[in-house]
Structure 1
Amino acid sequence: MLKTITLGLLLGVLVAPSSAFLPDLLEKLWPQDSKEIFDTVARIPYTDLLNENPYVDPFILHSMTHYGFFYVVDVPEYSASDELTYLQKFFNLPEGVKHGLEIKKHNSANKNAYRGYCPGLDDVHSTLQFKNVFNIGPHETRVPFNNETMDSDMEKLRYEVQEPNVWPETGDCDFDKHFKEVFQKGFEHRRSIGRAFVKSIARSLSMPSLPSLFTEDEFSAMGLRKYPVRGEINTNMYSDFDGTLLRELEHVDSTVTVLSTFNNSGLQMLYKNEYREAPVSGENGFIVNIGKLVEDIIDSKMMSVRHRVVEVPFTRYSITYFLGPQFDADISRSMTGQLTEAGRKYTIFGEWIKDYLGAIELFYY
């Protein structure tokens, strides 16, 4: 029944659909021979999403309202295997090399507070901190610090969130060059997906002013993550929900998320009060979802999905990209003017992110 309804929506937005084209399109985006519940989550071609082709909107809307996530596939000039290769090579670098890239919380000689390497293996018992992360942002340079214009904590934070990236300098020029190129390109792919997704939401929900909140992305972040195998189990690693042993705690994101799991199993999404395994992102695709802050802004017309990673018997790698609103975006009211949960305390995103960073370890955003 749902497929019939969506087919009707598609016929209203496709331009002169051919009888041969439409079945192939439906089978690609929404497989008919599905066996598992998440097999029917939409798989949206990257080029069509970025070209703002309106036929993708009902598929995204259905997946986001029923499951809370969808896939972007067929990404040109993108190779997940290349990213995984360089990600693994980075985490296998000597500790002394990685130490030179650490954020200042871990290496006081460095100035970078957000971008760089974060050795998070200081708490073997924690479901949150037992991972290593290398964070990449949207900035390569920024204007020099000017004390005369930094007349408030918010202005200082505005400056801080434009912190430039740090990149490996290993002495291996070929590795250093390609590592930077691979992940700069990967960052742009993910940012493009996030922004195109926001535009699709705006079209689907008749919220034309939504994209204006994401014109800039001062604190977007892409985290290369390594979850090593643990040799010790502790009771706080088990889920309070159903007792499952976890690698990553159950949580809901905050903004727009573009996730690469490669071919690693373990990611589970909550669906009808039961956690179910999500298909992997694969060789040239991504998993996309929203978080609670964005859900509130769009009046809960799409849902933020609760998810987790169960314990797996291998070192697990992933890349998580977050697209947040711009620093001055008004997050106090939804698209229909309702007070948001964040609006009870904050007006702009910059105020929210200041407390968010203070409430968690800085390098996990």
Structure 2
Amino acid sequence: MGTALKLPIIDLSSPEKLSTSRLIRQACLDHGFFYLTNHGVPEEMMEGVLMESKKLFSLPLDEKMVMARRGSRGYSPLYDEKHESSATSKGDSKEMFTFGSSEGVLGQLYPNEWPLEELLPLWRQTMECYYKTVMDIVGKKLLGLVALALNLEENFFEKVGAFNDQAAVVRLLRYPGELNSSGEETCGASAHSDFGMITLLATDGVAGLQVCRNKDKEPKVWEDVAGIKGTFVVNIGDLMERWTNGLFRSTMHRVVSVGKERYSVAVFVDPDPNCVVECLESCCSETSPPRFPPVRARDYFHERFSQTLASYSGSD
């Protein structure tokens, strides 16, 4: 394991929006990661989601494969995801299950795969309640503070069509946690950055998450990020880095095996698929011109999923 990293702790319940946004700005400049506390999502709800997640992953493989990923949603078995940095040709040692909102146009375009009610009677209800609670209580408020941190209007991301409470996706993750018998480092998730705007991660407290604050430096220095009960670990994604012209960097991270099974739940607050991400005026100048061309979110995700997911069909 690496050295321990002390991340900033942001209190989402603080009534001082401007001072909170300044703390978020500094956290995004220094780390690209921070803890979010007093966020309003009940701890028992977070624990319930982790418990139902364990029930799903404990099903026999053939029952899970009935819900296999079609496009971007559904079940992904071990080694389905592989990043350029993957230590082995097999891919990452993790299982995943991804779902999103069933409502509106996006729910029709990208249908969810759900376990049978007779197998997991409380599963869908638990997951849909968690999705709605996180987006209603945390997603909009946090993006508003990020906008203020960038000297923008609080509702900027809504105005440009980025924030759509039906565009987020939730990914349940299980890492078997086995250690390599040869003594080599084993990754449940190899080094990568997230694709979207912001990620909210809840964990079961098992160690393994590491960040590399300078992804361009060699050799890479990895630092451990501990889980704090009842908090979210928040990190900036690649599209936010593009929006901010590299001011807020999407920090590289990974999950290493520590000899113990690990569960986590990631909520990816992604922009609407039709949103065009282009450099913010407040983040470029004559001496700092835009580094990234404009890109439609749908096209960007399609390209990234095609590169990393063996089962991705490209249909969505």
TM-score relative to the length of structure 2: 0.78
State the alpha-carbon separation in 2 of the partners of residues 357 and 222 from structure 1.
15
Q: Is 2:12 aligned against 1:70?
A: no
Aligned partner of 1:44 in structure 2 is 10
Deviation (angstroms), 1:246: 2.9
Aligned partner of 1:253 in structure 2 is 194
Q: Is 2:130 aligned against 1:167?
A: no
Deviation (angstroms), 1:98: 1.9
State the alpha-carbon separation in 2 of the partners of residues 130 and 164 from structure 1.
26
- CA, structure 1 residues 77+363, in 2 after alignment: closer, same or farther (shift >3 Å)? farther
State the alpha-carbon separation in 1 of the partners of residues 180 and 149 from structure 2.
47
Aligned partner of 1:354 in structure 2 is 302
State the alpha-carbon separation in 1 of the partners of residues 80 and 150 from structure 2.
44
Q: Which moves more between the two structures, 320-329 or 183-192?
A: 183-192
State the alpha-carbon separation in 2 of the partners of residues 200 and 162 from structure 1.
30
Structure 2's unaligned 5+ residue stretches are 82-86, 215-219
Aligned partner of 1:103 in structure 2 is 69
More helix by share: 1
Does structure 1 conserve the Cα–Cα contact (< 8 Å) formed by 2:212 and 2:253?
Answer: yes
Report the RMSD for the aligned CA atoms in angstroms. Answer: 3.2
Aligned partner of 2:92 in structure 1 is 129
Question: Which among 285, 292, 297 is matched to residue 231 of structure 2?
Answer: 285
Alignment of 1:147-162 (within 5 A): 162=109
Secondary structure (helix, strand or coil) at the match of 1:55 reads helix
Cα-to-partner distance string for 1:98-147 (whole Å, 9 max, x where unaligned): 2322224xxxxxxxx32221223469945743211111112x1556xxxx
Aligned partner of 2:217 in structure 1 is none
State the alpha-carbon separation in 2 of the partners of residues 285 and 91 from structure 1.
23
Does structure 1 conserve the Cα–Cα contact (< 8 Å) formed by 2:79 and 2:91?
Answer: no
State the alpha-carbon separation in 1 of the partners of residues 292 and 247 from structure 2.
17
Q: Is 2:25 aligned against 1:61?
A: yes
- CA, structure 1 residues 299+205, in 2 after alignment: closer, same or farther (shift >3 Å)? same
Alignment of 1:91-240 (within 5 A): 91-104=57-70, 113-121=71-79, 125-126=88-89, 128-138=91-101, 140-141=102-103, 162-172=109-119, 175-176=120-121, 178-191=122-135, 192-208=137-153, 209-213=156-160, 214-216=162-164, 219-230=167-178
Secondary structure (helix, strand or coil) at the match of 2:207 reads coil
Count the aligned residue pairs: 290
Does structure 1 conserve the Cα–Cα contact (< 8 Å) formed by 2:49 and 2:127?
Answer: yes
Secondary structure (helix, strand or coil) at the match of 1:188 reads helix
State the alpha-carbon separation in 1 of the partners of residues 191 and 50 from structure 2.
24
Whichever residue aligns with residue 186 of structure 1, its letter is: Y
Structure 1's unaligned 5+ residue stretches are 1-35, 105-112, 144-158, 239-243
TM-score relative to the length of structure 1: 0.68
Alignment of 1:308-323 (within 5 A): 308-323=254-269
Does structure 1 conserve the Cα–Cα contact (< 8 Å) formed by 2:178 and 2:257?
Answer: no
Does structure 1 conserve the Cα–Cα contact (< 8 Å) formed by 2:195 and 2:301?
Answer: no
Aligned partner of 1:17 in structure 2 is none
Whichever residue aligns with residue 209 of structure 2, its letter is: L
Deviation (angstroms), 1:222: 1.0
Aligned partner of 2:274 in structure 1 is 328
Secondary structure (helix, strand or coil) at the match of 2:276 reads coil
Does structure 1 conserve the Cα–Cα contact (< 8 Å) formed by 2:32 and 2:235?
Answer: yes
Deviation (angstroms), 1:52: 7.7
Secondary structure (helix, strand or coil) at the match of 2:95 reads strand
Cα-to-partner distance string for 1:210-229 (whole Å, 9 max, x where unaligned): 44342325542111111114
Q: Is 2:51 aligned against 1:85?
A: yes
Larger Rg belongs to = 1
- CA, structure 1 residues 118+71, in 2 after alignment: closer, same or farther (shift >3 Å)? same
- CA, structure 1 residues 310+232, in 2 after alignment: closer, same or farther (shift >3 Å)? closer
- CA, structure 1 residues 350+84, in 2 after alignment: closer, same or farther (shift >3 Å)? closer
- Higher relative CO (CA 8 A, sep ≥ 6), structure 1 or 2? 2
